[in-house]
Amino acid sequence: MIEVIRGDITALTVDAVVNAANSSLLGGGGVDGAIHRAAGPRLLQACQAIGGCPTGESRITPGFDLDAQWVIHVVGPVWRGGSHGEPDMLKSCYSNSLDLARQHKVRTIAFPCISTGVYGYPQREAAKIAVAVMQHAAKDFERVICCCFSAEDESIYKQLLA
């Protein structure tokens, strides 16, 4: 079951929230900053111990002060026009996160719109990839949530899932 929600991902009660991080895993702005603020300083310590993550891959930590039990950190591609492997890397972000989630018996998971903020990936193109990967995996989960921050993203996802 794929749902579209508009709001702050840190406020959701789910087993896992996905974080759109950078390869240092040491925090940043956007959703990454919000997740680190809400999870508290132990999240940074856990990320420091991991020591980074390549683009397209994912790493898991506890959620600490979040309601979510887990944070799955992914590093989306920076948009460089679309012919530098960005679609495959974005697809890997979603599929690797869902693989990690399955390994940790996650039943409910929420994704932000990875790469579409600071990293500049066109929203509709990114959403098509996100929805395709989620649809493929949805049967393995109770809830897969697309957590949109903007009304525009919400409407794109709702159209794609209609």
The residues annotated as belonging to the active site are: 32
User: Among residues 60, 117, 129, 141, which is the contact residue for ligand AR6, using CB under 6 A?
Assistant: 117
- Give the interface segment with ligand AR6, choosing from 57-65, 101-109, 115-123, 129-137 (CB under 6 A): 115-123
CB closer to ligand AR6, 6 vs 102: 6
3-state SS assignment for residue 150: coil
Residue from the set 92, 95, 108, 115 that interacts with ligand AR6 by CB under 6 A: 115
Residue 30: CA atoms inside 13 Å, Cβ hemisphere, count? 19
* Residue 78 DSSP label: P
- 16-21 vs 58-62, strand pairing mode: unpaired
* Cα 23 from Cα 65, distance rounded (Å): 23
Kindly state whether residue 20 participates in binding ligand AR6, applying the rule CB under 6 A. Answer: yes
Rule CB under 6 A: is residue 61 a binding residue for ligand AR6? no
Stretch that binds ligand AR6, among 27-35, 52-60, 83-91, 138-146 (CB under 6 A): 27-35
Using CB under 6 A, which of 14, 18, 31, 133 touches ligand AR6? 31
The phi-psi region of residue 144 (left if phi > 0; otherwise alpha if psi is between -120 and 50; otherwise beta) is beta
DSSP label at residue 69? S
Q: Compute φ and ψ for 116, nearest 5 degrees.
A: -95, 5
Instruction: Report the nearest approach of ligand AR6 to the CB of residue 42 (Å).
Output: 18
User: What is the contact surface with ligand AR6 in residues (CB under 6 A)?
Assistant: 8-10, 20-22, 28-32, 34, 76, 112-119, 147, 149-150, 153
